[in-house]
Amino acid sequence: MGECTIIEEGDDYINKLRSEPDFPRPDYKSPISTIGDLACDFGVTLRTLRFYESRGLLSPVRSGTQRLYSAGDRARLALILKGKQLGFTLTEIRKMLAEEKKSSSPAKRNLMGVDGLYLSHGQIAEQLELLRGQQSELASAIAELEAVLSRATSQAEEAPLLMAMRCE
């Protein structure tokens, strides 16, 4: 990934923002990142971050048109991306994050953690079934395409021989 800048505690611009009465972040001491920094650090596009914001998954502080992300936003993005990697929809991820925020500890709710994303036994079993079905469909599609490619390659290799035979 490219060079990214995290705005630290000593930055005058951030300190000015934090001194304003309407600065909405409770974790004032955490590092602040711009949208470009966050995109760079997580390997996602600016459009992806804006989309997650439009769906209520991320809530950066706004300073004019600039989006500023806290350490909490960074952690939340990591959980969103882990959920996507595991094949969950954004709607499912939003519900998981909302449950996590309002409920007691994961251990008390019999949840298992996957890199900070807590899932119930039922969620895991259901997702595994879904992913195994997709895996089977992908294997069939791959086998079909490989067969077509093999036939096409054979025909391409035979074509010059047939042309040579016709010319004689």
- DSSP β-bridge partners for residue 112: 119
Q: CA 132 to CA 126: how far, in whole Å?
A: 10
* Predicted local confidence at residue 112, as pLDDT: 73
* pTM exceeds 0.75, yes or no: no
Output b/e per residue, 32-66; b: 16+ Cβ within 10 A: bbbbebbbbbbebeeebbeebbeeebbbbbeeeee
| Two tokens, residue 168 | 């004689």
- Of 9, 77, 64, 10, whose CA–CA distance to 37 is shortest? 77
* Predicted local confidence at residue 24, as pLDDT: 44
* Predicted local confidence at residue 155, as pLDDT: 79
Over its length of 168 residues, how does the chain's per-residue pLDDT go in tens digits? Answer: 445 554 444 455 545 554 555 544 444 445 788 999 899 889 999 999 999 999 999 999 988 888 899 988 998 999 999 999 999 999 999 988 887 776 656 555 667 777 778 788 888 899 999 999 999 999 999 999 999 999 888 877 776 666 666 666
